[in-house]
Amino acid sequence: MSHTIANRLAAIREVMAQQQIDAFIIPRADEYLGEYVPEHNERLLWISDFTGSAGHVVVLAEDAAIFVDGRYTVQVRQQVDGDLFSYQSLTDDPLAPWLADKLAQGAKVGFDARLHTLAWQQATSAQLAKSGIQLTQTAVNPVDQVWQQRPAAPSQPIFCFSDELAGATSLAKRRQIATIVADNNADMALITALDSIAWLLNLRSRNIPRLPALLGSALLSSDGSMQVFLDVSLLEDGVAEHVGDGVEFKPEADFAQALQQLNGVRLLADSNTSNAWSQLTAREAGAELVEGSDPVAIPKAQKNAVELEGMRQAHLRDGAAVSRFLAWLDEQVEAGQLHDEGQLADKLASFREPLPHYQEPSFDTISAAGSNAAMCHYNHLNGTPATLPMNSLYLVDSGGQYLDGTTDVTRTVAIGQVSAEQKQRVTLVLKGHIALDQAKFPRGTSGQQLDALARMPLWQQGLDYDHGTGHGVGHFLSVHEGPQRIAKNANSVPLLEGMVVSNEPGYYQDGDYGIRLENLVAVRKARSLANSERNMLEFEALTLIPFDVRLIEVSMLTDSERQWLNSYHQLVLEKIGPQLQGSDLAWLKQATRPI
């Protein structure tokens, strides 16, 4: 593919010369700025062959670079031609200083304002200006101009998501969010997060891989009425009646005109999540931008009672499916049948697919054998799937989209005999997982404040991992839902009742093995805290799947940690056991035996 990529870079440079720009920035993001990007918007993949979920390419007249974070330092070297691109770190060698070092004063850096947030545009423009470099919005994206045989935009129908499963009507949700808009002294809110629009309208679609949201943008007024800009030809019959009064569906091409008619309107917009183009267009038309977070984000993240119960039920079915897969895997290894990563992922999918309410995976399964698991976001579809090596670790991170909930679980499994070091590292990761699971914390606590609990056992041994400890999860929506998360990096969003987050510490030995242990948990009021002086919260385990006790060095566990594991496994047996029978149930009883 290097020859093809070289030709594409040359074509981009021709357009850059015509547009009189000295550099052009190509992010992974599309105009919706979501994690999941439809095939026709995979511009970063098209120009570089890089399949990661985050990164930037910068094309200059003579050279090019790709910027990625710590998750992808190994993967980027495997996928991207080092003769065409230099490898850069988004954290160690940020974009703006690198450009300032490469370009002369007076240079122009082109960017597509639809593909970047307003906050990014403002910060990058200010940084480059210090070196006399101008950040310039291009009227046409050079990639779009030269991309031949570009895939067609997806055209799956937009369908109604039942109010019964949602726990509230669209009208009730829009009125709830409208009060937040009014409380921010705004007339209207710019809603661009795809899952926010889907949640507000109780609509879903299959136009985005692994994310059942719909492609579009919206304006929500402080009276609860809403204009939605999307491909109206995809709306199924009955959608207008389903969403209720006050919703206008308009072609996506009309969005620019609607923004240009906002003269004098106070527009609530999130400069950190909505694209720069929409906000700059509104401001140029005379709108006053009111800076504020997406008003849908927190209410959506705080699952209502119906959504939470749906999540619990989805996890019960999902737990049985994954347990059946793990039982099958042990049986295969015992028989000397060592399958490849793709076959294992397909087999796991075959246990989920017949389940009630199952729709699709919630993300591409990470099925990682041996050293591939050291790449925490490994995808076996990017090359030739490796066969499980004997006497190794197998990491499988997978999830399902069900009509009543979204799941995400990671288990690390012993394949034959494992080393003392591997058992020690797995046990350290488990100790961190338990510490976070058992946390009790006062209202107002953010995930950033809890992150160290999961890392402490590793830190004490001079070890760590380069990803966050937890992300939010939506209700039949995004498996990576904001705004809450559990990570080292600054995130002051408090963990609130009803939020669902992952608990997934890990450890990765480059070129050798990887470990991750992940459950989803829901935030709830703390129970059994006598004489508590504060309003305290805790986590409720949603994921109910055994951990591989063969990988645990029991002598490293405290009595309370051992008790936690035995109690968790007893709960798994009680909840999942009734769904299994025969050899699967026998396996589960063995896997959940007290230690």
| Residue-range domains of the chain with CATH | 2-146 (3.40.350.10), 158-296 (3.40.350.10), 302-591 (3.90.230.10)
How confident is the model at residue 2, as a pLDDT?
A: 63
CA distance 294 to 452: 28
| Residue from 558, 523, 559, 520 nearest 538 by CA | 523
Q: How do 400-402 and 405-406 pair as beta strands?
A: antiparallel
Which class for 385: exposed (0-12), middle (13-18), buried (19 or more C-beta within 10 A)? buried
Q: Please, are residues 137 and 22 in contact by the beta-carbon 8 Å criterion? A: no
Q: Residue 117: which residues within 8 A CB-CB, separation 6 or more?
A: 33, 271, 272, 273, 274, 275, 276
CA distance 192 to 35: 13
How confident is the model at residue 528, as a pLDDT?
A: 81
Tell me which residues of the chain have a pLDDT lower than 70.
1-2
How confident is the model at residue 74, as a pLDDT?
A: 81
Please tell me what DSSP assigns to residue 384: P
In this structure, is the dihedral angle defined by the CA atoms of residues 240, 246, 249 and 250, taken in order, positive or negative? positive
How confident is the model at residue 375, as a pLDDT?
A: 84
CA distance 50 to 43: 10
Global pTM reads 0.93
How confident is the model at residue 529, as a pLDDT?
A: 82
